[in-house]
Structure 1
Amino acid sequence: MTFDYDLFVIGGGSGGVRAARVAAGDHGAKVGLAEEFRMGGTCVIRGCVPKKLMVFASEYGGMAEDAQAYGWDLEVKGFDWTRFHAGLEKELDRLEGAYRNTLRNAGVQTFDQRATVVDPHTVALADGTRITAKHILIAVGGRPFVPEFEGSEHVITSNEIFHMKALPKKALIVGGGYIASEFACILNGMGVDTHQYYRGNQILRGFDDECRNHIATHMQAHGVHIHTGRDIVRLEKDGEGLLATATDGSTDRFDIVMYATGRVPNTEGLGLADAGVKMGLKGEVVVDDYSQTSVPSIFAVGDVTDRIALTPIAIREGHAFADTVFGGQKRTADWELVPSAVFTQPEFGTVGLSEEEAAAKGAIEVYTTAFRPMQTLFAGRQDRVFMKLVVSAQTRVVLGCHIVAPHAGEMIQLAGVAVKMGATKEDFDRTVAVHPSMSEELVTLRKPTRKT
Structure 2
Amino acid sequence: MTYDYDLFVIGAGSGGLAASKRAASYGAKVAIAENDLVGGTCVIRGCIPKKLMVYGSHFPALFRDAAGYGWKVGEAELNWEHFITSIDNEVRRLSQLHIGFLEKAGVALISGRGKLLDPHTVEVGDKKYTADKILIAVGGRPVKPDMPGFEHGITSNEIFHLKQQPKHIVIIGAGYIGTEFACIMRGLGSEVTQITRGEKILKGFDEDVRDNIEEGMKKHGINLIRKNILKQVEKVPEGLKLTLSDENQAPIIADTFLVATGRAPNVDGLGLENTGVKLIVDAAIEGPGYSTMKAIAVNEYSQTSEENIYAVGDVTDRINLTPVAIGEGRAFADSEFGGSRRVFSHEDVATAIFSSPEAATVGLTEEQARAKYGEAIKIFSTKFRPMYYVLPGVDEKTMMKLVVDSKTDRVLGAHMVGDSAAEIIQGVAIAVKMGATKKDFDATVGIHPSSAEEFVTMR
What is the TM-score with the length of structure 2 in the denominator? Answer: 0.95
CA contact (8 A) 1:151 1:235 kept: yes
Opposite residue 287 of structure 1, the aligned amino acid is V
Match of 1:99 in 2: 98
Match of 2:285 in 1: none
Deviates more, 1:340-349 or 1:73-82: 73-82
CA contact (8 A) 2:238 2:253 kept: no
Runs of at least 4 residues off by over 4 Å? none
Structure 2 CA distance, aligned partners of 1:151 and 1:110? Answer: 39
Match of 2:391 in 1: 378
CA contact (8 A) 2:348 2:433 kept: yes
Of 173, 176, 190, the match for 2:174: 176
Structure 1 CA distance, aligned partners of 2:372 and 2:340? Answer: 35
Specify the SS of the correspondent of 2:381: strand
Specify the SS of the correspondent of 1:360: helix
1:293-338 per-position Cα deviation (integer Å, ceiling 9, x unaligned):
1111110000101200000000010001111111111012111101
Of 192, 195, 201, the match for 2:193: 195
Match of 1:274 in 2: 274
CA contact (8 A) 2:122 2:130 kept: yes
CA contact (8 A) 2:18 2:329 kept: yes
Q: How does 1:28-427 map to 2 (within 5 A)?
A: 28-125=27-124, 127-239=125-237, 241-249=239-247, 250-281=250-281, 282-362=293-373, 363-427=376-440
Gaps of 5+ in 2: 282-292
Matched, 1:444 2:443: no
Opposite residue 2 of structure 2, the aligned amino acid is T
Specify the SS of the correspondent of 2:296: coil
Structure 1 CA distance, aligned partners of 2:50 and 2:238? Answer: 26
Gaps of 5+ in 1: 447-452
Matched, 1:2 2:2: yes
Opposite residue 307 of structure 1, the aligned amino acid is R
CA contact (8 A) 1:64 1:76 kept: no
Structure 1 CA distance, aligned partners of 2:323 and 2:260? Answer: 21
Structure 2 CA distance, aligned partners of 1:402 and 1:304? Answer: 28
Deviates more, 1:384-393 or 1:270-279: 270-279
CA contact (8 A) 1:44 1:50 kept: yes
1:67 CA drift (Å): 1.4
CA contact (8 A) 1:61 1:76 kept: no
1:78 CA drift (Å): 2.3
1:274 CA drift (Å): 2.8
1:239 CA drift (Å): 2.6
Opposite residue 32 of structure 2, the aligned amino acid is L
Structure 2 CA distance, aligned partners of 1:133 and 1:211? Answer: 46
Specify the SS of the correspondent of 1:379: coil
Match of 1:450 in 2: none
Opposite residue 42 of structure 1, the aligned amino acid is T
Structure 2 CA distance, aligned partners of 1:427 and 1:76? Answer: 49
Opposite residue 407 of structure 2, the aligned amino acid is Q
1:68 CA drift (Å): 2.0
Structure 2 CA distance, aligned partners of 1:77 and 1:351? Answer: 37
Opposite residue 9 of structure 1, the aligned amino acid is V
Specify the SS of the correspondent of 2:307: coil
Structure 2 CA distance, aligned partners of 1:171 and 1:381? Answer: 26
1:273 CA drift (Å): 2.9
Specify the SS of the correspondent of 1:411: helix
1:385 CA drift (Å): 0.5
Match of 1:449 in 2: none
1:76 CA drift (Å): 3.5
Match of 2:289 in 1: none
Opposite residue 12 of structure 1, the aligned amino acid is A
Opposite residue 175 of structure 1, the aligned amino acid is G
Match of 1:15 in 2: 15
Opposite residue 386 of structure 2, the aligned amino acid is P
Opposite residue 373 of structure 1, the aligned amino acid is P
Structure 2 CA distance, aligned partners of 1:89 and 1:361? Answer: 45
1:111-138 per-position Cα deviation (integer Å, ceiling 9, x unaligned):
121111111000111x221111111100
1:211 CA drift (Å): 1.5
Structure 1 CA distance, aligned partners of 2:390 and 2:362? Answer: 27
Opposite residue 7 of structure 2, the aligned amino acid is L
Q: How many residues align?
A: 444
CA RMSD of aligned residues (A): 0.9
Specify the SS of the correspondent of 1:284: strand
Structure 2 CA distance, aligned partners of 1:272 and 1:328? Answer: 28
Deviates more, 1:339-348 or 1:67-76: 67-76
Match of 1:435 in 2: 448
Structure 2 CA distance, aligned partners of 1:112 and 1:235? Answer: 38
1:184-208 per-position Cα deviation (integer Å, ceiling 9, x unaligned):
0000000000000000001111111
CA contact (8 A) 2:119 2:274 kept: no
Specify the SS of the correspondent of 2:228: coil
Specify the SS of the correspondent of 2:157: coil
Opposite residue 187 of structure 2, the aligned amino acid is G
1:240 CA drift (Å): 5.9
Opposite residue 341 of structure 1, the aligned amino acid is A
Specify the SS of the correspondent of 1:387: strand
CA contact (8 A) 1:12 1:41 kept: yes
CA contact (8 A) 2:380 2:403 kept: yes
